[in-house]
Amino acid sequence: MRKILVVGAGQAGLQLALGLQARGHDVTVMSERTADEIRGGPVMSTQCLFATALGHEAALGLDFWADQAPRAEGLGVSVAGPDGGRPIDWLGRLRGAAQSVDQRVKTAGWMETFAERGGTLVIHGAAASDLEWFSRAYDLVLVAAGRGEIGAMFRRDAARSPYAAPQRELAVAYVHGLGPRPEHPDVRAVRCNLVPDVGALFVIPALTTSGPCDILFWEARPGGPADVFRGVRDPAERLRLILDLMRTYVPWEYDRAGAVELTDAGGTLVGRLTPTVREPVAELPAGGLALGVADAVVANDPLTGQGANMAAKCAAVYLEAITGHGDRPFDRAWMESAFDRFWALAGPATKWTNTMLGPLPEHVLGLFGAAGTLQPVADRFANGFDDPADFEHWFYDPERASAFLAATGAAG
């Protein structure tokens, strides 16, 4: 039995802690807040897990809300035209349903489960100086918290981090009362609405503290016409601005939002994030080591919805790496090897996200257009959210894209 510390109580940290606990390890989790404080606090993210990540939760018996959260059976893409219409509009079918559970619900529930199963839960914010002592008291220190002094211990990997500043301004509202899309009234789907030179609006069916809901999520280009949220603190005003932008740029989504209201006073979030990959191992002043977990070391813009998915996948990779290591010491070589296994998944997700943040090449725009008439193209794009590595085979290279379209059209 190994003695392991997990700093941070989010998707990755708690999933990993619960998995290690189930395999007989002595696990301590450090969290800045209690379960009740998290459950009653503001929303923290726009998570939507696809089939692979959901499978990792299910394998550990942690899919507590699978029968309560709405099941998204598809992923739709609409591109706004200058006249308020949709020159591109299609719905891709997912091979396995996606689900979104408010992190307040999941984190609080998992924290309580961890404690009920005998885990040690410490409510205290960890500083870098604390980790020096922890590295001597535990066989392994895992850092799943990426903000502040703790996050700064992991050095930026410049070769894998092309951006030095946030690429989008983010605004989120959890709402009740959103109507269905009239063209697909019986289909729950994640909706991606792209507005050239403005940003994007995502609509995500979810489960929150007060039951099923929808998440309205704007990704605004900095300095553009949708960059209107900085300094706005009032939740009602944030929702009003989100709806105003919907009316102006994506009226087909606004048309079903006439009865929406915030799920609760904490149901909004605004912020910005600089996409950054960090070196996976932090060396402490006296020589101790800590291994970074998920977005503590790979933080992508949420444009492609990979944050929570990569967190679940990282937890699964590290769980197997720790379990398979036996009684040997967790040295730097092992830590780097464990991260390399994770990067095999996170690297393709990072490449795809960074591609989508930049100007889209002509052949990619052609793929978006073709998906409106070729269902296999729409389906393959939708399922890329679950497996971003698949984009390497048909998405980035114009010749491969052309060959894929030709083969798909011929088959159709």
What are the tens digits of pLDDT across the range 54-65? Answer: 999 999 999 999
Low-confidence stretches of the chain (pLDDT beneath 70): 410-412
d(CA 190, CA 86): 17
Instruction: Assess if residue 261 is contained within a domain.
Output: yes
Chain segment 273-309, per-residue pLDDT in tens: 999 999 999 998 778 899 999 999 999 999 999 999 9
Q: HEC string of 42-89?
A: CCCCCCCECHHHHHHHHHCCCCCCCCCCCCEEEEEEEECCCCCCCCEE
Query: What pLDDT does residue 410 have?
Result: 67
Give me the pLDDT at residue 133, please: 83
State the Cα–Cα distance between residues 386 and 379, nearest whole angstrom.
12
Pairing of strands 72-79, 88-98: antiparallel
- Asked if residue 67 is part of any domain, the answer here is no
Q: End of a domain among 357, 373, 402?
A: 357
Same domain, 94 and 152: no
User: Is the same domain home to 141 and 32?
Assistant: yes
Total domain count, the chain? 3
Domain encompassing residue 92: 72-100+169-272
For residues 254 and 205, state if they share a domain: yes
Of the residues 215, 239, 272, the one at which a domain ends: 272
CA angle 191, 196, 202 (to 5 degrees): 20
Q: Check: CB of residue 100 under 8 Å from CB of residue 93.
A: no
The alpha-helical segments, DSSP class H, found in 94-164 are: 103-116, 128-137, 148-152
Shared domain check, 237 and 146: no
Alpha carbon dihedral 282, 270, 351, 195, in 10-degree steps, equals -170
Query: Is residue 219 one of the residues assigned to a domain?
Result: yes
- Taking CA 231 as the corner, what is the angle to CA 229 and CA 234, rounded to the nearest 5 degrees? 80
- Measured distance CA(222)–CA(371) in Å, rounded: 29
Residue identified by tokens 């798909």 is 408
Is 111 within the bounds of a domain?
yes
Whether residues 46 and 118 share a domain: the answer is yes
First-to-last alpha carbon distance for the chain, in angstroms, is: 56
Within a domain: residue 65? no
Considering 272, 287, 321, which residue would you say is the last residue of a domain?
A: 272
Clarify whether residues 215 and 157 are in a common domain.
no
66 falls within a domain: no
Domain check: are 404 and 290 in the same one?
no
Does residue 338 form part of some domain?
yes
126 and 56 housed in the same domain: yes
Q: Would 290 be classed as within a structural domain?
A: yes
Residue 267 DSSP symbol: -
Indicate whether 173 and 251 sit together in one domain.
Answer: yes
Q: Are residues 181 and 279 in the same domain?
A: no
Residues 175 and 258 in one domain: yes
Residues counted in the chain? 412
- Name beta bridge partners: 207: 101, 212
Helix, strand, coil proportions of the chain in percent (round to 5)? 40, 25, 35
The CATH number for 311's domain is 3.50.50.60
Predicted TM-score (pTM) of this structure: 0.96
- Tell me the residue ranges of DSSP E strands in 135-275: 140-143, 169-176, 189-195, 199-208, 211-220, 261-262, 268-272
Q: What percent of the chain has pLDDT over 90?
A: 90
Q: Are residues 184 and 237 in the same domain?
A: yes
Q: Would you state the pLDDT for residue 76?
A: 97
